[in-house]
Amino acid sequence: MKNLLKSVVFASGLLLASNAVNAQQKIGHINSQEVMASTTEFKNASEQLQKLKAEKDKQLGDMFAEYQKKQTELNDKARNRSEANKETIDAEANKIVTEMREMEGRLQQNQEAAEEELMKKQQELFQPIQTKVINAINAVAKEKGYSYILDLATGAVAYFAGGDDLSPDVKAKLGVSATAAPATTPAKK
């Protein structure tokens, strides 16, 4: 009976100790996109990016309008073609078709360049804001004693203060060597 009492007290003590350890790990969450979008810097960066996008859209629109003029000119030539002016019209039409192909190439190049410029500008504008938000998350987590902060926007862990890596235990459970290197995907042919 005395041993049973000691066992119950010991088990209770272990249970309380494990609860105390678990209670020390605080887990929080955040929506980083919402936080980032609420900053003044984000709003200013978004406006700058929209202005640049509008400028690029206008340039591409002007180029496309010029292309459409050539298309209309080609259609007019085809409508006015007769047996008497066939050679002249065909030569002019071939010249217009060549110009249109060149315009298509320039339009595609300019569209790709505009997309690349917009992506670079977006990275340039938003990266510092994202870094600022991450630093703020880390600071708040440390100040408030959180072990983990989950980001609802990305589904990832935004902050963690260490913790136990269970990878070796899971590998052992699967019968995999703890030092086994991860499998690589075969190169695509």
Q: Name which of 179, 187, 136, 174 is nearest 158 in CA terms.
A: 136
pLDDT the model gives residue 173: 79
Q: How far, in Å, are 43, 52, 105 from residue 119 at the CA level? A: 17, 11, 21
The pLDDT value recorded for residue 169 is: 73
In the prediction, which pLDDT does 3 show? 60
**Which of 2, 29, 11 has its CA nearest to residue 157?**
29
Q: How far is CA 144 from CA 5, 96, 140, 154, in A?
A: 40, 70, 6, 22
Residue ranges, the chain, pLDDT below 50:
4-5, 8-9
